Structure 1
Amino acid sequence: MSQASYELKAEAREQVGKGSARSVRRNGKVPAVIYGDKQPPLAIALSYKDVYYKIHGGGFLTTIATIDVDGKKIQVLPKDYQLDPIRDFPMHVDFLRVGKNTEVNVNVPVRFLNEEKSPGIKRGGVLNIVRHEVEFHCPANAIPDFIEVDLTGTDIGDSIHISAVKLPRDVKPVIADRDFTIATVAAPAGLKSEDSAAATEEGEAEAAPEE
């Protein structure tokens, strides 16, 4: 399930807009907005240091947080953030209020297990990862940290589809109209070249006129 929650201290902002946001940043804070749960948006300012370490610490967009806004505690899920394109500094964060029945779409990382138990990889096959993350629809308070793909028994040429992955309850792929591929076990480059050469020779032999 989702990682342990954490708490951030914040101040309410009376003014919004680009000028207000610049003023907040000059004071060493990060402008942010809390929205959703059928309530009006709430503009806030957060500690730059706290936001920077949470964003770059991993799992930021999949972890429920509590924001203490001048003594009032609000449960939220980070939905988006903007970084300075040059210095990688946090510029703005959007938070979604999390109620009892809140459901969200969120990208969850994929982990691959038991490569050593894959005959194809043992023979030199290459794990070709099609999706490093998969987007799921799930309750905001039950976001998985990751999903696991078991490579046991996979051979060269095999594909692993989402249907082969055991998902937690109420966690469903956003893509629901097809059994999409997460990864394949591809032939090593040397074997591909040999197969290609063999196919070429076979084709030439078939094309040659009989004597």
Structure 2
Amino acid sequence: METSFVLFSQLNMCETKEKAFFKLIHGGLGKEAASKEAKTRVSPEEAVKWGESFDKLLSHRDGLDAFTRFLKTEFSEENIEFWIACEDFKKNKEPQQIILKAKAIYEKFIQSDAPQEVNLDFHTKEVITKSITQPTLHSFDAAQSRVYQLMEQDSYTRFLKSDIYLELIEGRPRRPTNLRRRSRSFTYNEFQDVKSDVAIWL
């Protein structure tokens, strides 16, 4: 009896079991997950706007992140990375920085056998190659425009039909519930099928 009292006193020392359990679930890792989710959460209304134009998608930080994630699933993230690098490049003011960053972009995305070579026509590549020794802030404009058009006409249309985008415009909380329900139903039906197959052989 005395031992039972000690156990209950430990459980109820400061709060009820329900409160302790709630803190365990929502504290620690739960709190970190909630914080991370809050940072990455996008309202369905905001995501819907990304479907209005490619410009609206790229001008929103979360939209850019979502599109980049999509391109990674298609192994074509070099296009958006090149576009971002060009946007960053045009912000430079110092001549030395312009030269260094232009060379870095050329070696990473433009030259033949570059680690993340983007798909450009011969003429565009040739113009960049000739100007790379004395680059200007507009050295990559033609290439950036071409890659932009490629993404807008090809990747963007597929992105709007992708699970990544559809989950955002439908709202995140709905998806896990539907998945759990579907999973239980499938498992039960599958079990019935197995049972009926066994019965045939008996």
Give me the TM-score of the superposition, normalised by structure 2: 0.25
Structure with greater helix share of residues: 2
Give me the TM-score of the superposition, normalised by structure 1: 0.24
Structure with greater strand share of residues: 1
The higher radius of gyration belongs to 2
Which has the higher relative contact order, 1 or 2, with Cα contacts under 8 A spaced 6 or more apart? 2
